[in-house]
Amino acid sequence: MRIHVSFIDRVGITQEVLAILGGRNLNLDAVEMVPPNVYIDAPTLSHEVLEELKDRLFRVRGVEAITVVDILPGQRRHLQLDALLAAMTDPVLALDSAGHVLLANPALITLIGREPAGESVAELFADPGLQSALLENGFRLPLREVTLNGEALLLDATPITDAGALLTLYQPSRIGERLSALHHDHAEGFDALLGESPAIRTLKTRAQRVATLDAPLLIQGETGTGKELVARACHATSARHSAPFLALNCAALPENLAESELFGYAPGAFTGAQRGGKPGLMELANHGTVFLDEIGEMSLYLQAKLLRFLNDGSFRRVGGDREVKVNVRILSATHRNLEKMVSEGTFREDLFYRLNVLNLEVPPLRDRGQDILLLARYFMEQACAQIQRPVCRLAPGTYPALLGNRWPGNVRQLQNVIFRAAAISESNLVDIGDLDIAGTAVAGVNDGEVGSLEQAVEQFEKSLLEKLYSEHPSTRQLAARLQTSHTAIAHRLRKYGISGKV
């Protein structure tokens, strides 16, 4: 039986209470003092004996109440802690201030096949440097990779003041889930693709079919049409929807950084590398989806490495010699003509066919008719909320200009135009003078000189770069102006033969 004795706190009262119980030769398994309360676990105490003892206990000066309880507070906390640790799917360790294991949850015991209580961190991980680093830094370490029982895991240390630390071990894909959640769009699946035009309906119908097929998907379309939004919708509708969705813009990073971001790197792979190595997106997204945006900008070296991964699902980290195998679906996107690039030798033909198992074409905004007005109203509401001003509406006089503009930057350009209008308009009715649009033609492009859409886009891009490069005469300045990477700008300047400092 477990009892709770409450009293007016005074020196010696607990000893007097315990002496009465001890006088009946009762075994006391546990005694917990939480003044002005004492909790006693006496397994051999019966209700009859307790009734006999109550009179004597109440004669102890200060005793106010005696009740029977089902469990002691400390025992309850211990059971709650055990339940909490058992419910955690990630391996967890509690350490004392010297770096020795106090307790481990079932997930960790299952992983290593034994109870590690009493072992040091150095013994458990076979890594003396890890224990030294934990102790020297007060158990405050950045997330780092460790190996336990032959498995690569990410270690997160949480110091507990004057008592040691809690170590949590994550599989790389668990961190991938967190990264994916940070970029999660609140609109689920194809609800995020706003529009009712025939072009967008056709896209949604085809996309819903290919989304459920577990094969590589190539998404093509002009810059700013929403290719990543389509990719996210396909992931959200697939069987992998509960696993991470991680994206890499192949044009935003130089080759060496893009390789380590995608495939990770081994310990000591290069100067400045994180100690213990680092998993790349492929490992972080295991069982999920990796989206490779602007795949046409990927170097031939990375194309070869990606092709090998698509063949058997395995790769080696930068500077590593261990084969890593993961289960990831590859979605890719480009505004470039990959077939033309194949014929020119700048994109591997075998990779093109591996990526182009399934394909989608995202229509340009100018082909979506009344969707332009629907999107403009949506962006206006969004912009007003963002800058915290009363909701504006578009005057009917803006409709012809919005519908007639060719929108070379597509949905992204429309969103920027609407945001600027919401920011500068002094009235809640946005009129044509508030819209920063050039009209119905693409600047710098004459209809009679263009043979194809791609030529038109290239002419516009070249014209824009020539104009802005004189005002921003370095790749970094120009990249900042156009909100892209300086490597992407350098590539385009070389492509169009625009001279200057590259």
Q: Tens digit of pLDDT for each residue in 382-391?
A: 899 888 888 8
Q: 194 and 330 share a domain?
A: yes
d(CA 171, CA 447) in angstroms, rounded, equals 55
Q: Please give the structure tokens belonging to residue 353.
A: 């066919």
Whole domain around residue 425: which residue ranges? 365-434
Q: How many Å apart are CA 188 and CA 176, to the nearest integer?
A: 19
CA–CA distance, 375 with 224 (Å, rounded to integer): 13
* 215 shares a domain with 138: no
The Cα 460–Cα 305 span in angstroms is 33
pTM of the entire predicted model: 0.61
Q: What confidence score (pLDDT) does residue 186 get?
A: 46
Domain count, the chain: 5
State whether 212 and 70 are in the same domain: no
| 224 and 141 assigned to the same domain | no
410 lies in the same domain as 340:
no
254-273 pLDDT, tens per residue? 888 888 889 988 876 665 55
Residue that is last in its domain, among 52, 75, 98: 75
Is the domain of 377 the same as that of 485? no
Q: Which residues of the chain have pLDDT under 50?
A: 185-187, 439-446, 448-450, 501-502
Using the 3D structure, point to which of 75, 105, 125 is the last residue of a domain.
Answer: 75
pLDDT of the residue at 74: 84
DSSP-assigned letters across all residues of 193-260: S---SHHHHHHHHHHHHHHTS-S-EEEE--TTS-HHHHHHHHHHHSTTTTS-EEEEETTSS-HHHHHH
Pair 49, 35 in one domain:
yes
Can you give the length of the chain in residues? 502
Final residue of a domain: which of 23, 52, 75? 75
Radius of gyration of the chain (CA): 33
Q: Are residues 210 and 148 in the same domain?
A: no
Place of tokens 């909701």: 391
What CATH number does residue 38 fall under?
Answer: 3.30.70.260
pLDDT at 502: 37
What is the number of other CB atoms lying within 10 angstroms of the CB of residue 226?
Answer: 25
Beta strands 429-430 and 393-394 are parallel
Residues 277 and 329 occupy one common structural domain: yes
Token couple for 374 = 């629907």
**What is residue 177's predicted lDDT score, i.e. its pLDDT?**
61
Regarding whether 97 and 47 lie in a shared domain, the answer is no
Same-domain check for residues 211 and 223: yes
Query: Are 322 and 198 members of one domain?
Result: yes
